[in-house]
Amino acid sequence: MKLAQGIVVGLIAGYYDVETTTGIVRTRARGVFRQKKQKPAVGDRVEIQIDDQGMSYLVKILPRLNRIGRPAVANVSHVLLVISAIEPDFSVELLDRFLTFFSWQRVRVTIYLSKTDLIEAEKLAKIKQKLSYYQAIGYLVFTDYHEVQRQISTMIQDDQIWTLAGQSGAGKSTLLNHLKKDANQTTGAISTSLNRGKHTTRKVELFKLGAGFLADTPGFSSIDLTLIKLNELCNYFVEFKKASVNCKFRGCQHLKEPGCEVKKLLKEEQIMSSRYEDYLAIRTEISDGRIPEYLK
């Protein structure tokens, strides 16, 4: 019997393909996971056991950073967030929701503005101006997919796992197709589900890109922020968190507290007003424990 470690790079019909230093090993998950209500996911770092008959089993899931999306991908460290300039319309509110979610999940975000070819120059300039704020607070922003193509493989480092995210129709599959030559994702049409009734035959894969992986899944288009703790939300607005060291009170929620640095910067227009409004809106969403109807 032999033990090895690796990364789950593929999941198909109940088999887990694990990349080890000696190649890819197709494994079955041990029944123990079912008892523990655990499910290995693509991206998991795992231990496998190869018995004397050459049968391979996935026996242990190593601690995860996160497990996000549908189908789920584990240990996602970076997201390429696709936001469209038009169809659907560009929305800072949507952008803020995604950024908050990923900040909470400890996932770094690179923003890609799609469909810039479909919009008038003037409107595009306005969007780019808004995006420059996001650049200033630390996000990398691309507005040209050739630029993404050129840089992505150097951006993905050391076994990092990247995935795509963005609203439905934003252009995730289109981008994915550009990024992988042998692409076969469906674009345009409503995403076809591989779920067939109760017995799912899902295929989820990581493909190698740069020094790491990009998940070959449509990524995710909807998120739920209601599980974030209300008084921790302020930590996930990166520029609020940075400013908060100068708030008078520790744990300042930047509402009506005296000596609040965030409110001061907001007044001075150094913090974008829509960011603050979205912060308040998400607070309400968390307190109410549900996603507002208009966002569903």
Question: Would you list which residues are annotated within the binding site for GTP?
Answer: 114-117, 166-174
From candidates 110, 143, 153, 187, binder to ligand GTP by CB under 6 A: 187
Would you call 25 helix, strand, or coil by DSSP? strand
Q: Which two tokens stand for residue 287?
A: 């307190």
Residue 25, beta-bridge partner list: 18
Residue 57 host element (H or E) = strand 56-61
From candidates 51, 89, 93, 117, binder to ligand GTP by CB under 6 A: 117
With contacts defined by CB under 5 A, name the span among 141-149, 205-213, 221-229, 239-247 that binds Zn ion.
239-247
145 and 135 Cβ atoms separated by less than 8 Å: no
State which residue, 32 or 118, has the beta carbon closest to ligand GTP. Answer: 118
292 and 225 Cβ atoms separated by less than 8 Å: no
Q: Does 148 bind Zn ion (CB under 5 A)?
A: no
Q: Which two tokens stand for residue 126?
A: 């306005």
Enter the DSSP assignment of 281. Answer: H
For ligand GTP (CB under 6 A), the number of binding residues is 17
Q: Which two tokens stand for residue 139?
A: 């996000």
From candidates 118, 125, 255, 280, binder to ligand GTP by CB under 6 A: 118
Neighbours of 30 (CB within 10 A): 16
Q: Does 143 bind ligand GTP (CB under 6 A)?
A: no
* Measured distance CA(132)–CA(116) in Å, rounded: 15
Phi and psi at residue 110, to the nearest 5°: -115, 130
* Measured distance CA(105)–CA(28) in Å, rounded: 29
241-249 LR contacts (CB < 8 Å, sep 24+): 243/271
Q: Which residue has the tokens 């060291």?
A: 245
* Measured distance CA(105)–CA(236) in Å, rounded: 9
With contacts defined by CB under 6 A, name the span among 15-23, 110-118, 151-159, 257-265 that binds ligand GTP.
110-118
Q: Does 192 bind ligand GTP (CB under 6 A)?
A: no
In angstroms, what is the minimal distance from the CB of 86 to ligand GTP? 9
Q: Does 170 bind ligand GTP (CB under 6 A)?
A: yes
Q: Which residue has the tokens 């209500």?
A: 37
From candidates 204, 252, 265, 271, binder to Zn ion by CB under 5 A: 252
The binding site for Zn(2+) consists of 247, 252, 254, 260
Residue nearest ligand GTP by beta-carbon distance:
171
State which residue, 56 or 217, has the beta carbon closest to ligand GTP. Answer: 217
State which residue, 196 or 250, has the beta carbon closest to Zn ion. Answer: 250
In angstroms, what is the minimal distance from the CB of 170 to ligand GTP? 4
From candidates 58, 262, 272, 286, binder to Zn ion by CB under 5 A: 262
Please report, as ranges, the residues that interact with Zn ion according to CB under 5 A. 247, 252, 254, 260, 262
Please report, as ranges, the residues that interact with ligand GTP according to CB under 6 A. 114-115, 117-118, 166, 168-174, 187-188, 191, 218, 221
